[in-house]
């Protein structure tokens, strides 16, 4: 924090020799002249001392509403600055935020409220929530006025204290609530900053909500490092977002594979120079190496960083700067510098390099487990190691190669084939815009592949072309040409919505 900001704040707090363990407190300490939250759709901007005072204002507002440290508050998230202010303000006050996308809450409010058991629900604007009213939960709506930081000390927190509850973001199954501690957030945020080489003048373009751990980690790292975040909800018009990258001088752009596919196929990425952009961040699934090459070729001045992670690991596990000339293209890189990673067999015995097994990881950013689910916690967090349920291998240089989820393998004639490998192969066929694969039962082979293919430019004569490009060992039961692949709110393929016609 620069001197002019520190002078405005309580010296008994900001000038302590040691920082506390409250993650929001640490983030607030680092707010300086480059810090900002911007809503690109409206042009609304909060920066510097105003931003600091607003975070404290939300903390004071929640406390004046009757909430106390340790209470849970469900944050109804949208791609706006106010959601972040509410999230950080609650954490600053020691209240546990539970960020949830509005559409997720709207579709499962009763079950979600029962699982979270919040004392309050915050929304950006006044709106009727029948489920909230039925359960007698406090409803808080709208913004709070700024408050000078010297008037409210941050809640005192230990590293192991609960900082936030984050919903897992898988494409199948019921999402769990992951218990993220202040120590988890501090460790993961600082490790990500080191791995990406973030400076103090960074500004991220964020088109993902902070209810998604990838979006939250981008927000955490850029604000914690003294930079800013630009929220843009207009990615349905990708060129508007690309122009906003320039308008707001963004240095970072983050997206899941589907986002980069849109940029390459449905935007004017080639004709919109972005001279200030320093890095692309990609996580949330496998992006075809050819797509990485294309983005790098179009914007060669920006680094392309491929990352792997899970909500249970507070976001990031590994990171790699994609070098298109390297044989490592397609890998997920090396573990963050404060994590240990191993590959194990079904008996949890370590496997040597080159052998595929389950990925396990341990370290200070691994969460304590799932809220009110001791059975799943005991199963997935065994002996200090997080069982990711992802399969992969490490090569002789230690680089991690993801082969798929345990549930995302198709066993054809006894041979396990990764769904992501199938999708990458089919996605590289000329005329294919996008594809998804699911397993189906087959009397002869045990399981077979069912493909759903989105043709490029209306080319619907693709079935035989696709079938002819598949390896002989990949028994393909069907190929369905579709207009689009169903996605989760976080851009992942919603495989549970894919159905093969009888």
Of 177 and 324, more confident? 177
* 214 Cβ contact list (under 8 Å, min separation 6): 208, 254, 256, 283, 284, 309, 315, 490
**Per-residue model confidence (pLDDT) at position 418:** 80
Q: How confident is the model at residue 407 (pLDDT cuts 50, 70, 90)?
A: low
Give the residue range(s) of CATH 3.40.50.12780 domains in the chain: 3-400
Class of domain 413-497 as given by CATH: alpha beta
Q: How many residues does the chain have?
A: 502
What was the pLDDT predicted at 169? 66
75 band by pLDDT with thresholds 50, 70 and 90? very high
Highest mean pLDDT among 4-13, 122-131, 135-144, 285-294: 135-144
- 440's tokens: 């189906």
What pLDDT score was predicted for residue 499?
A: 83
pLDDT at site 385 = 97
CB 89 within 8 A of CB 83: no
Share of the chain above pLDDT 90, in %: 70
Q: Are 256 and 249 in contact (CB under 8 A)?
A: no
**pLDDT above 70 for 354:** yes
Dihedrals phi, psi of 496, to nearest 5 degrees:
-70, -10
Q: Identify the DSSP state of 253.
A: E
CA nearest 160: which of 21, 52, 345? 21
pLDDT, mean of residues 158-182? 85
pLDDT of 18: 66
pLDDT level of residue 2 (50, 70, 90 thresholds): very low
Answer for the pair 257, 491: CB distance below 8 angstroms, yes or no: yes
Contacts (Cβ under 8 Å, ≥6 apart) of 272: 239, 242, 243, 246
Question: pLDDT digits over 98-129, tens only?
Answer: 999 988 887 778 888 999 999 999 999 877 67
pLDDT of 264-283, one tens digit each? 989 999 999 999 999 999 99
pTM above 0.85, yes or no: no
Q: Specify the pLDDT at position 319.
A: 97
96 pLDDT tier (thresholds 50, 70, 90): very high
Q: What is the pLDDT of residues 440-466, one digit of tens each?
A: 887 677 788 999 999 987 676 799 999
Give the SS3 label for residue 309: strand
Beta bridge partners of 32: none
Token pair recorded at residue 77:
């998230």
| Backbone angles phi and psi of 155, in degrees to 5 | -65, 140
Start-end ranges of CATH 3.30.300.30 in the chain?
Answer: 413-497
φ, ψ of residue 449 to 5 degrees: the values are: -100, 135
3-400 is a CATH 3.90.1150.10 domain: no
Predicted confidence at residue 191, as pLDDT, reads 98
State pLDDT tens for residues 6-59. Answer: 444 444 444 444 679 999 999 999 999 999 999 999 999 999 999 999 999 999
The per-residue pLDDT of the chain, averaged, comes to 90
């Amino acid at each position: 924090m620069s001197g002019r900001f520190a002078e405005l704040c309580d010296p008994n707090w900001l000038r302590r020799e040691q920082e506390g363990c409250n993650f929001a407190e640490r983030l607030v300490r680092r707010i300086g002249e480059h810090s900002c939250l911007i809503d690109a759709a409206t042009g609304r901007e909060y920066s510097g001392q105003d931003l600091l005072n607003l975070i404290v204002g939300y903390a004071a507002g929640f406390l004046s509403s009757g909430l106390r440290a340790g209470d849970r508050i469900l944050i109804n998230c949208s791609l706006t600055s106010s959601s972040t202010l509410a999230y950080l303000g609650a954490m600053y006050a020691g209240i546990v935020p539970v960020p949830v996308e509005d559409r997720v809450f709207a579709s499962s409010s009763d079950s979600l409220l029962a699982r979270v058991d919040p004392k309050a629900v915050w929304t950006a604007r006044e709106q009727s929530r029948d489920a909230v009213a039925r359960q007698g939960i406090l409803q808080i709506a709208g913004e709070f006025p700024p408050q000078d930081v010297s008037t409210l000390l941050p809640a005192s927190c230990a590293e192991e204290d609960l900082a936030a509850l984050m919903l897992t973001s898988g494409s199948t199954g019921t999402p769990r609530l992951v218990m993220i501690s202040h120590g988890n957030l501090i460790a993961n945020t600082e490790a990500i900053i080191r791995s990406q080489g973030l400076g103090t003048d960074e500004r991220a373009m964020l088109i993902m909500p902070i209810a998604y751990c990838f979006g939250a980690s981008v927000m955490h790292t850029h604000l914690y490092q003294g930079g800013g975040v630009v929220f843009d909800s207009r990615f349905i018009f990708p060129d508007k977002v690309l122009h906003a990258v320039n308008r707001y001088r963004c240095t970072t752009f983050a997206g899941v594979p589907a986002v980069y596919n849109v940029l390459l196929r449905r935007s004017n990425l080639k004709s919109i120079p972005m001279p200030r952009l320093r890095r692309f961040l990609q996580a949330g699934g496998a992006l075809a190496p050819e797509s990485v090459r294309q983005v790098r070729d179009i914007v060669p001045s920006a680094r392309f960083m491929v990352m792997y992670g899970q909500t249970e690991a507070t976001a990031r596990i590994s990171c790699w700067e994609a070098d298109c000339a390297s044989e490592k293209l397609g890998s997920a890189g090396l573990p963050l510098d404060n994590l240990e990673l191993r590959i194990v067999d079904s008996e949890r015995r370590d496997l040597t390099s080159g052998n595929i097994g389950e990925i396990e990881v341990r370290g200070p950013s691994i969460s304590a487990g799932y809220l009110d689910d001791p059975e799943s916690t005991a199963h997935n967090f065994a002996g200090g190691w997080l069982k990711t349920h992802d399969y992969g291998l490490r090569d002789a240089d230690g680089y991690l190669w993801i082969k798929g989820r345990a549930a995302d393998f198709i066993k054809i004639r006894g041979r396990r084939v990764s769904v992501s490998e199938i999708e990458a192969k089919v996605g590289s066929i000329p005329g294919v815009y996008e594809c998804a694969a699911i397993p189906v039962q087959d009397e002869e082979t045990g399981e077979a592949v069912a493909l759903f293919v989105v043709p490029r430019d209306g080319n619907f004569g693709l079935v035989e072309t696709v079938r002819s490009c598949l390896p002989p060992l990949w028994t393909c039961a069907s190929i369905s040409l579709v207009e689009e692949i169903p996605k989760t709110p976080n851009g992942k393929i919603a495989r549970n919505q894919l159905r093969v016609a009888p």
